[in-house]
Structure 1
Amino acid sequence: MLSNIPTPLLALWKDRIGFSTGTTTVIFAAYIGGLLLALPFTGALADRYGTRRVLAPALVAGLVSCALFMTATHVLTLIVARLLTGVAVGAVLSAGTAAVSHVGGPGRRPQAVLAGSVAIGTGLAAGPLLGGSVSQYWTAPTVTVFVLEGVLLLTALAVVYTLHLPPVPVSREEPAPGWLRLPSVPRVNRRGLATSLLVYIPGMTGTSLLLALGPILLASLLHTGNRLVTGGIGFMMFGASTGVQFAIRNLPLGRILTIAGVVTGVAMLGTATAVRAHSLALLTLAAVAAGVGQGMGQYGGFSRLGTEVVPTRLAEANAALSAGGYLFAGILPILTGYLSDAAGIATSSTVFASLTGAAALAGALLVGTLRARTPVEEVREPTKVPAS
């Protein structure tokens, strides 16, 4: 939730502090910078020392970021708060999802992967809705909303310390690698990771683009400054991301990834069309479709890793998938923001939405081609070796 709560508030800070569209996207993407700082070691640390020792400090970092958001009067404060948010979320994406899989046990790994992925989607959806509603209708919104989030983080901290987490089994097949390195997967799982990233990267980039530029698009092109509308669109986008995961959980993973790429591509081309047509309805539909594509790509990617990677490398594998997706999800919105300052929001959003859509469709084509060359559909059981 903390990652998306500030999105509807960016317009408030923009007017209060005074900064450009490019700076707005830098503040937004600073979160991804913190996430990329955390992922290279949080996954490996969790695999070696246990998930609790990673999650507890991460939640404390989230609490500190809430305090910074509440007192921010300068751009630098907002950037530091977003960096700390990224560190916290990076730990949750790697160690948190692995902890859920460990609790589920070997016999329920597919259900545990679904639970972890749905929890991520639910938080992403609830964040902008909470931020938008509080900032639009409550007094002292930049304080109130982070007090509420701080309470939620404290409850999460209590859960981390009281929940029984089974010990991670020690692998005797491979030596324990160093804990500070780029996150990766065992050699046998590299093709699965690469296939997942072909779809996961455009999906994450598309939703990040809409989140970062949503308030500006609504204000400049569609002439609405209602922050609840901004938060509501974010809620529908990630609500669709969460809901679709229940609908697709029994489909083969290769098919899920292929469909995810196609849906993301259509969503991004729809976004470009909505911007040119100044259509709020079409932009909303495109955002929902983007959420569907992102949710399918997220579930497909985490499921593939969760059912194929050995438990001793699972947190690091989750970190590798997240790092790949969020890297581009941070770079492209920044480029779009600064191009907006130079050429206008309509031009920049059209260009980068079209590029993201083309990348998603290309990824779907590659994944579909690999599926067609595979004689047997991917298996879902964690104890078998996938045909791909």
Structure 2
Amino acid sequence: MVSYSHQAECIGSAPREWRIWTTALLVMAVFVLSNSATPLYVSWQQELGFSNGTITLIFAAYIVGLLATLLVAGQLSDRYGRKPVLFPGLAAAVLACVLFITASSVATLLLARLLSGIAVGVMVSAGMASVMDVGGSARRHTASLAASVAMVLGAGLGPLLSGILGELLTRPLVPLFGTQLLLLASAFAVAGSLPRRRVPARHNEWRLRMPSVPKVNQMHLALGIAVFAPGISSTSFILSLGPSLLKKLLDVSSPLVSGGMACLMFLSATGVQFLLKNRSIRSQFLMSTASVFLAMLCMAIAVWTSTVAPLVLAAMLAGVGQGLGQLGGLTLIGLHVPEHRRAEANAVLNIGGYIPAAILPVCTGFLIDYTGLAVGATSFAVILTTVAMIAAGVVSVKLR
């Protein structure tokens, strides 16, 4: 087996680090697309006439596509190389952009979000694994940081760009997703520059199975999922229902405000990773769960007092929770999981995180439709706080 790590070792230290961040741009380009639609949900809702529950279903279509892709993308990437998986994922992102531009029905939005999820599923398995491969064994921490930062920074830049264009233009879709297409063109170029790995076929490897990791790494993944899941569930809720919360709390429907809040959330996730990258994984995990707890407390205060400041603070704290949980989980994978199972391990981590991130916001969206904003949002906050505190207890025991 020809290893990416071996090829990376042949490159000098400075060029290798430059290449790590260049490869991370591949991940960022697709994640810019992942949340670009967030500030536009209210406009589509008014134009097409659908409920809060439908908004969360549109958001969840993205996670369905992501989860379905994660079931196979990591295994295919580990077996046949990164490029054969990356290129179809990028093609799905291009098609999603076209559908968003021409969207005139809920069905089209659902399909566009589904394809966005497929593209992101490829990135969090094969894309992030590519970043780790380029880093090699000597720069695992840098590669983990680059992959995680690329994800959250892209996820934040998307809604900010969407919000700015939505505020300035009456028809922002073509400029917004046209810009996305230019970013994806650069991603194709980065993917094409990756080294090619040839893997000798073995009979028992040709059959797909549920993603898994070696038994010795199962606890590493379990700890990562336990902390990453509450963090990404909190950001998913704010992404899907944040614009509706702003409209109901302050009668604010500006795409710039909702996009700016989403961007601030992910900038918090990015900044905290640089700030705390040298802390122990245990510390990162515990601070992640504490941030989720505080985020849910602030969100409950916002909906019961009808004030926006606690909601913005909740978004920032949710970003911190996701960023630190994600960084800790990826670092565990980079340090302990063998290279030939790394993309599959990334898939397992994200499957475990995104399942509750899909189910809880969707259930909350429909609960809000039936019981009201305060009861629905508070119920979500209580559930997620409980899960985060349980995760903190497990981490405290297992990572001493």
Cross-structure match for 1:8: 39
Could you say what secondary structure the match of 1:2 adopts? Answer: helix
Cross-structure match for 2:90: 59
Q: Select 2:69's aligned residue among 30, 38, 44.
A: 38
Q: Could you tell me whether the CA contact under 8 Å between 1:102 and 1:165 is conserved in 2?
A: no
Q: Could you tell me whether the CA contact under 8 Å between 1:45 and 1:179 is conserved in 2?
A: no
Q: Could you tell me whether the CA contact under 8 Å between 1:44 and 1:179 is conserved in 2?
A: no
Q: Could you tell me whether the CA contact under 8 Å between 1:257 and 1:364 is conserved in 2?
A: yes
Q: Select 1:117's aligned residue among 133, 148, 157.
A: 148
TM-score, with length taken from structure 1: 0.92
Could you say what secondary structure the match of 2:34 adopts? Answer: coil
What is the one-letter code of the residue matched to 1:279?
T
Cross-structure match for 1:198: 226
Are positions 1:164 and 2:194 aligned together? yes
Q: Select 1:19's aligned residue among 46, 50, 54.
A: 50
1: distance between equivalents of 2:222 and 2:189?
A: 36
What is the one-letter code of the residue matched to 1:118?
V
Give the deviation of 1:317 after TM superposition: 0.2
Structure 1 pair 158/252, CA: closer, same or farther in 2 (3 Å)?
Answer: same
Are positions 1:319 and 2:347 aligned together? yes
Give the deviation of 1:169 after TM superposition: 7.5
Give the helix-richer structure, 1 or 2.
2
1: distance between equivalents of 2:39 and 2:102?
A: 17
What is the one-letter code of the residue matched to 1:318?
N
Give the deviation of 1:273 after TM superposition: 1.5
2: distance between equivalents of 1:241 and 1:179?
A: 37
What is the one-letter code of the residue matched to 1:9?
L
Structure 1 pair 142/164, CA: closer, same or farther in 2 (3 Å)?
Answer: closer
Q: Select 1:79's aligned residue among 88, 97, 110.
A: 110
Cross-structure match for 2:301: 273
Point out where structure 2 has 5 or more consecutive residues left out of the alignment: 1-31
Q: Could you tell me whether the CA contact under 8 Å between 1:31 and 1:86 is conserved in 2?
A: yes
Root-mean-square deviation over aligned CA pairs: 1.6
2: distance between equivalents of 1:169 and 1:80?
A: 34
Cross-structure match for 1:352: 380
Q: Select 1:331's aligned residue among 340, 347, 359.
A: 359
Q: Select 1:96's aligned residue among 127, 144, 153.
A: 127
Give the deviation of 1:179 after TM superposition: 5.2
Structure 1 pair 123/179, CA: closer, same or farther in 2 (3 Å)?
Answer: farther
Point out where structure 1 has 5 or more consecutive residues left out of the alignment: 373-388
TM-score, with length taken from structure 2: 0.89
2: distance between equivalents of 1:179 and 1:32?
A: 25
Greater Cα offset, 363-372 or 7-16? 363-372
1:293-330 superposed Cα distances (whole Å, 9 cap, x missing partner): 11000000011011110000000000000111011101
Aligned length: 369
Give the deviation of 1:181 after TM superposition: 2.5
Give the deviation of 1:108 after TM superposition: 1.2
Q: Select 2:247's aligned residue among 219, 244, 257.
A: 219
Greater Cα offset, 286-295 or 218-227? 218-227
Give the deviation of 1:288 after TM superposition: 0.5
1:350-382 superposed Cα distances (whole Å, 9 cap, x missing partner): 11022112211221122112234xxxxxxxxxx
Could you say what secondary structure the match of 1:182 adopts? Answer: coil
1: distance between equivalents of 2:340 and 2:327?
A: 21
Are positions 1:149 and 2:172 aligned together? no
Percent identity for Structure 1 against Structure 2: 45
What is the one-letter code of the residue matched to 1:190?
Q
Q: Could you tell me whether the CA contact under 8 Å between 1:132 and 1:231 is conserved in 2?
A: yes
1: distance between equivalents of 2:266 and 2:319?
A: 5
Q: Could you tell me whether the CA contact under 8 Å between 1:169 and 1:311 is conserved in 2?
A: no
2: distance between equivalents of 1:176 and 1:93?
A: 25
Cross-structure match for 1:386: none
1:224-276 superposed Cα distances (whole Å, 9 cap, x missing partner): 11111100110110001011111111111122112211111111122111111
Structure 1 pair 293/179, CA: closer, same or farther in 2 (3 Å)?
Answer: farther
Are positions 1:238 and 2:238 aligned together? no
